[in-house]
Structure 1
Amino acid sequence: MPGFIDTQVNGGGGVLLNDEPTVEGVRAIAAAHARYGTTALMPTLISDTPDRIALALDAVDQAIGAGVPGVVGVHIEGPFLNVARKGIHDAGRFRLLDEEMVALLAKPRRGVTMVTIAPELANIDHIRRAL
């Protein structure tokens, strides 16, 4: 039977990517989901600081390079969201997509980088360059 593909995995095995943006954290998350039939996943960071986003991007990139089974990329869920639709996200972390974040998100990496963004709040040129 084919395995499951999960593009939004905030954590697993007692680890949240926001709390442990490391190769070891990514490995624990992937192993926890593999037990339930997930064969491909994207560890997901919810709205956080630029420094934490950079750590998560690097950790997933390194995990893919290290051959952590099932990790196919990273999902950055915010902080480029609309406060009117914030859900569980801390609106205090929200920011507009700017040149600094475009450079960070557009850096070549292993795997897929998926970003959840409120397009109504973003400059279309920033979106094009970031992704």
Structure 2
Amino acid sequence: MDEYSGAGELVAFGGVWAGAELRCDTEALEGLLTDDFHAVGPRGFPLDKKQWLERYDSGALVHDSFDWDDVEIRRYGDGAVALGIQSQQSVYEGRDMDGIFRVTQYLTSVPDGTWRLAALHLSPIAERPTG
């Protein structure tokens, strides 16, 4: 994962993360998330790392598309906050889960100098902002 240690590492990390989410690639996500990763879903429910990955391992969540863009990144020492828009066409347990979400991610630099996603929070937005 040395590609996350140079210039633009956080932008590169976001692209790799979004690709792993699209592919439901739990092996890749295992390495991208901190061991104590936590997320708050779009309806306010919390998920730890095991629960996040289990949605894919069980086949309950499948994405037809998954985009991460309009990202603004602010670094704070060994941490960073990324604010962006996640748009997806997805099915969860047979139900349509298409949506557009404002996402806040907290990333942390680990001792080897690479980045990991420690937390994220999704909030649904009615429509994609323009301009």
With the shorter chain as reference, the TM-score category is: under 0.3
Higher strand share: 2
Q: TM-score, normalised by structure 2?
A: 0.25
Q: TM-score, normalised by structure 1?
A: 0.25
